[in-house]
Structure 1
Amino acid sequence: MEKQGDFWLLAVVLLAVVNISAAEDKAVYFKVGGELGLRPTFSGRITSILWKLKADLMAEWVEGVVPLVYYGRFKTRTTLNTTSGHLVLKDTTKDDEGLYTMEINNVVQNERFLAKAIEEVPAPTVELQPLICNADMESCELTCHLPTKEAEPITYSWKEGDGEWEQKKKDIEITKTETARVKTYSCKMTNPVSEKESKPKDNPFFQDDPVPNHGVVVGVLIALVVAFVVTVAGCGFWKKKEIKGWYIKKRGNNVSETDNGHIASSSGGASPTPEDVPLKGEA
């Protein structure tokens, strides 16, 4: 009998471990004084629901039995949708951080929410690394500087001049050869509760007419020379054929018979004049 009791105790412990391991904690963020929304993905019909923050009861409803009720410090700040199970908590404080759990239809759900209060991101600044970065150097780094760590998690985006925002890392590299046409750089920080942009930072490598890449210049010159040679050769071949045809035609016309039977040579004799040619009817 004692062994059977030990077996059931072990089974209960294992079941609890399985349930804990299957639980899915979703990270959610809110700013102090703002709003926290918790949206479970339960898709069935809800007949009862109970929300908790840690061990504190927040809201409860049982269809036809318990009307919707809010508990303790959540009474005036909480709204529960009994159809979807979504919960909204307003005027949040640091005390609202923690693990939110729920029971739907008398079943503890594996979907849980781990809430954390974070600050809004302040306006970032773009800083050069090294600080002495100048046009005489080959490359430098730009960093999107944040004066606080209380706004994490943060994503970073960068913009060249008036271009489009592109999500990148906090630090980016700029080089003299590749960024000479970019006048300014701007960065943007985004977290789950806010978004801020920096002021544009001048690019130390910017040039109105940047020095061309020598490799590119040499390649272009070679291409131009090749094109010129091919064009000249083609024209010479065409001209040669034209001159040869003209010469053959000229030789054929060097000796020709006129209408009065005389032979005229273009090399030695004179061409007949209009007076030498008999008119019709005078022959």
Structure 2
Amino acid sequence: MEKQTVFGFLAVLLLTVSGFSSAEEITAYFKVDGELTLSPTFNDRITNILWKLKGDLVAEWIEKTVPLDYYGRFKDRTTLDIQSGSLVMKNLRMADEGEFTVEINNKVHPQRFIGKAIKEVPKPIVWPSPLSCHADLDSCALSCDIEGDGDTKEAEPITYEWLEEGGTWLEKGKNITITKTGSTGVKTYTCKMKNPVSERKSEPKDNPFYIPITPPSIELIIGISIPVIIAVALGVLAWFKREKIMSFMSKTPDENVSKTDNGNKASPYDGGESSEHVALSYTTGE
């Protein structure tokens, strides 16, 4: 057991020292007539490199010995970066499916790329379940699917995202559930299909549970605004008249009653001395 552990450690160490990453199989998806980029992980300087597809030579370069060359049906549609080792192929065909291998500095690279052709995703549609989903139900299911009897097998792998109007795209799976209590603020739902070579989204689907927010009426706005404006105006007036108001509030009740010239208090029901004097003068004049 101890020997196996040591052997495994040495194997990993050898891969690291040689500039290689650990063994790995990578699926590289492409669409017909599309483009494919294969990028092996390598940290050292490359002095020679050879790419193959299902054993057939694709591209080769050997420093100071063999100039960069492309073979057979791969000519004019393949580009090899001799600095990084990346291979780019264009105008891909179904015949380009299969295992890509690369040898760097006379060693087989542990990363293997499996080329696989897939189709673009079709335009999806949001299907409710039940089809007659309405506001009287407690919940409904929504499915991101396609119209007709077709399927999406040739476009796999597919991921699904959903958008609530006004929100952001979230990956939630092909089917979601909406409820009367949890979705009243969402007007529409939109779904999106994505795969490694394409993405398309559906048209928005109206939410039967949506309850629109009614804006306040003009009468209500005016009814609220006028008292507020009056209160603010009175507050501003009180601020500028604050000294007089404080002075008035600080006086005693007797000081707030107006006095006559001879110091006697004037009564609202008694004309006082001045009134009697006027009356006498009028009689004398007669």
Q: Which residue of 2 aligns with 1:166?
A: 169
Q: Which residue of 1 aligns with 2:77?
A: 77
Q: Which residue of 2 aligns with 1:116?
A: 116
The separation in 1 between residues aligned to 2:102 and 2:63, in whole angstroms, is 16
Q: TM-score, normalised by structure 1?
A: 0.66
| Alpha carbons 2:163, 2:170 under 8 Å: kept | no
| Alpha carbons 1:28, 1:115 under 8 Å: kept | yes
Q: Which residue of 1 aligns with 2:127?
A: 127
Question: Structure 1: where are the runs of 5+ without partners?
Answer: 1-10, 211-241, 278-283
Counterpart check, 1:155 vs 2:155: no
After superposition, what is the alpha-carbon deviation per residue over 1:146-205, rounded to whole angstroms, capped at 9, x for unaligned? 4312212223222334x3541221222322234334332221112111111112222212
Counterpart check, 1:99 vs 2:96: no
| Alpha carbons 1:264, 1:270 under 8 Å: kept | no
Describe the shift of the 1:253–1:164 C-alpha distance in structure 2 as closer, same or farther (beyond 3 A): closer
Q: Which residue of 2 aligns with 1:66?
A: 66
Counterpart check, 1:185 vs 2:189: yes
After superposition, what is the alpha-carbon deviation per residue over 1:75-134, rounded to whole angstroms, capped at 9, x for unaligned? 443222223222122232233223322111112222332222111000001011232321
**Aligned AA (1:190):** K
Q: Which residue of 2 aligns with 1:199?
A: 203
After superposition, what is the alpha-carbon deviation per residue over 1:20-67, rounded to whole angstroms, capped at 9, x for unaligned? x93022232101222211122324322100112233322211112122
Describe the shift of the 1:271–1:132 C-alpha distance in structure 2 as closer, same or farther (beyond 3 A): farther
Q: Which residue of 1 aligns with 2:233?
A: none
Matches within 5 A, 1:3-42: 22-42=22-42
How many residues were matched structurally?
227
| Alpha carbons 1:155, 1:167 under 8 Å: kept | no
* RMSD, aligned CA: 3.5
**Aligned AA (1:66):** V
Describe the shift of the 1:180–1:133 C-alpha distance in structure 2 as closer, same or farther (beyond 3 A): same
The separation in 2 between residues aligned to 1:182 and 1:27, in whole angstroms, is 39
Q: Which residue of 1 aligns with 2:283?
A: none
Q: Which residue of 1 aligns with 2:89?
A: 89
Matches within 5 A, 1:264-275: 264=265, 266=267, 270-271=271-272, 273=274
| Alpha carbons 2:260, 2:266 under 8 Å: kept | no
| Alpha carbons 2:26, 2:114 under 8 Å: kept | yes
The separation in 1 between residues aligned to 2:275 and 2:38, in whole angstroms, is 112
SS of the aligned residue for 1:150 comes to helix
Describe the shift of the 1:253–1:187 C-alpha distance in structure 2 as closer, same or farther (beyond 3 A): closer
The separation in 2 between residues aligned to 1:275 and 1:102, in whole angstroms, is 129
Shift of 1:266: 4.2
**Aligned AA (1:35):** E
Describe the shift of the 1:72–1:249 C-alpha distance in structure 2 as closer, same or farther (beyond 3 A): same
**Aligned AA (1:138):** D
Moved over 6 A (4+): 251-254
| Alpha carbons 2:28, 2:115 under 8 Å: kept | yes
**Aligned AA (1:30):** F
